[in-house]
A = this chain, B = another copy of it.
């Protein structure tokens, strides 16, 4: 069991991580670090700051704010603990601090810890060279104000690059006549199209549809709630102490 410290443990994300990680047999939550009192403690002690930590720690998980993350990086480097970070929006300087910590301990920084999302993207890149055409349909709740989703853009780029590496010529666009404009969705380059559906009730879903002569291959990922990143964090924890180094993303951990 990896003795794990949750920095930002009183926040919404920290509490969700506490709930998910403490339920796993591979992780031992040994403390929550937060200036505020956490609503739930998951049988672990609460520390107001990293200086107060009085337990043995193998790894730190920090999904809080960028300024907290750099403090965690320094603490991990000096205590020989691995660091798993899910915070986005780091400045170049803040990222450098994480890379510096990576010289002495393992540091994993990822924007998406959902294993389903990571596998989806991997599969899409693998299938891309073998099909004439591919389109992405991403479906989200109607509170989402941007389109297309960031994930669909990343997926489209992965597909495009895989097709280019394989020297696959993109089939020409077949539609010639439009009764209504924009019906064919967004052109993400390289022949990949993205369609964004927004409906109340939905959470976050993505379908990658490949088509070839007489057959179709569809990869669908559904995120139903915030617990979807727990498995990816656990996977990162299982490997973060394998070696020192700064690693971006968890794709390299899925083999």
Binding site for B on A (CB under 8 A): 20, 114-117, 119-120, 122-123, 126-127, 129-135, 137, 139, 142-148, 150, 153, 171, 174-188, 193-203, 209-231, 235, 254-255
Contacts and interface: CB of A to CB of B under 8 A. Distances in A.
9 tightest Cβ-Cβ pairs between the two chains A and B:
A199-B211, A214-B227, A180-B186, A214-B228, A215-B228, A183-B186, A182-B182, A195-B195, A116-B217
Contacts of A175: 144-147, 196, 198
A226 B214 contact: yes
B126 A255 contact: yes
B130 A197 contact: no
Nearest to A114: B215
A162 to B, nearest CB: 10
Contacts of A148: 179-180, 183
How would you classify the secondary structure of chain A's contact residues: helix, strand, loop or mixed? mixed
Contact of A201 (B127, B176, B216): B216
Given A116-B210, A120-B217, A147 B184 contact: yes
B228 A201 contact: yes
Given A148-B179, A201-B224, 6 more contacts: A20-B213, A130-B254, A137-B137, A183-B185, A193-B197, A219-B219
